[in-house]
Amino acid sequence: MTITATPTPGKSLISPKDHTLVLIDFQSQMAFATKSIATEVLRSNAALVANAAASFGVSTILTTVAEKSFSGPMFNEITDAFPGQPLLDRTSMNTWEDAAVIEEVNRIGKERIIFAGLWTSVCIVGPVASAIDQGFDVYFIADACGDISTEAHERAVQRMIQLGAKPMTSLQYMLELQRDWARAETYDSTTGIARQWGGAYGLGITYAKTMFGASEGGH
């Protein structure tokens, strides 16, 4: 049997309209105890994901736990990317057990769900396991999650992969949405987000643009 290659993306690759992004408990109290990733790196990664999702028009749910009484506000890097969007505040540690969140998931109606948030072993494992059980195609952004120890984060990541969830990274998430530098309508926003939140990659873009007028894809 001969296999013929075609210039088309694999079905497991994400696109802006094929998934719902759920950002969970990026709040001060949760971040204080997060030790598996430096807080400044976590914030940059969360900002990159949120701004990329907003730029590409991804259906996004923002949810907090005990915002007023205990955990504090969601990172402003996230809420600034979605001005005016309500935060769905919960009492449940498992986002998937909150009726308001599930109502929004069903309203949006996407079968592919991508999760990121704090903490990996509780607030991410819970909805990931629950969504998989209900037949959803589930991804998680590993470096936009964190936990009270590296051990806690890594065991949670292993558990989710064993359940069938697919791991991603923050920069991978944005670049998979772009996927072709010839897509001029999102080129400037994608490279702009990378320059602000993309760490060394963003510095490289700034350097190339400033020193040589260079850019990805010849733009």
The domain ranges of the chain are 20-175, 183-218
DSSP secondary-structure letter at 122? I
pLDDT band at residue 218 under the 50/70/90 scheme: low
pLDDT at 136 (0 to 100): 98
- Cα pseudo-dihedral 89, 92, 58, 50, rounded to 10: 70
Q: How many CB atoms lie within 10 A of CB 109?
A: 8
Averaged pLDDT of the chain: 94
pLDDT band at residue 47 under the 50/70/90 scheme: very high
The per-residue pLDDT for range 2-20, each reduced to its tens digit, is: 999 999 999 999 999 999 9
Contact call for residues 43 and 66 (beta carbons, < 8 A): no
Contact call for residues 86 and 65 (beta carbons, < 8 A): no
Residue entry with tokens 């850019």: 215
Q: Cα 75 to chain center, whole Å? A: 14
The per-residue pLDDT for range 21-45, each reduced to its tens digit, is: 999 999 999 999 999 999 999 999 9
The per-residue pLDDT for range 104-141, each reduced to its tens digit, is: 999 999 999 999 999 999 999 999 999 999 999 999 99
pTM above 0.85, yes or no: yes
Beta pairing partners, 141? 168
Q: How many CB atoms lie within 10 A of CB 134?
A: 11
Residue entry with tokens 């209900």: 134
The per-residue pLDDT for range 165-200, each reduced to its tens digit, is: 999 999 999 999 999 999 999 999 999 999 998 988
CATH number of 20-175: 3.40.50.850
Contact call for residues 140 and 128 (beta carbons, < 8 A): yes
The per-residue pLDDT for range 148-164, each reduced to its tens digit, is: 999 999 999 999 999 99
Q: Cα 158 to chain center, whole Å? A: 18
